[in-house]
Structure 1
């Protein structure tokens, strides 16, 4: 009798479908995560405590979102925070973990 639970092809397809679904879900969650981080950075900027924020994955995308929302004055504040040594070190660690080459400012 045929049992799909023991069929290697069926199990491989189910595994591939589950991986694709997880990737789609992560892709859908990413904009919400970036938006939440942008909100957090904006709140810290308003409170004057932005320089105390711990650098996080996606801060660059959150900075871009803040710039689109409010314009250059917010971008300058976040850029100043991101220029700090703690942010630079954390960004370098993240890039080396992902094996992504550094981004040029030019």
Structure 2
């Protein structure tokens, strides 16, 4: 190489080395971004699972409350109360008969 070619070669080499360094830094930053996004995604998936569990429990509680409410409404309407009263009278009758 003559001096001019050597300078061009060295300058080109430095440019390529800087370009490679820049690309490596960019790659590292992108990998860090991907890691952070995966971590965030994992946390959000766990939050979703927790919310799904809460919703499921809420639905069960709501269903139970509706069931309890319907029993209460039946009892309050008198039907269940009448059934219980009749059963109590039958139990009293059986108790009286067994004591005779």
TM over 0.5: no
User: Which gives a bigger RCO, structure 1 or 2 (Cα 8 Å, sep 6+)?
Assistant: 1
Q: TM-score, normalised by structure 2?
A: 0.38
Structure number with higher helix proportion: 2
Larger CA Rg, structure 1 vs 2 = 2
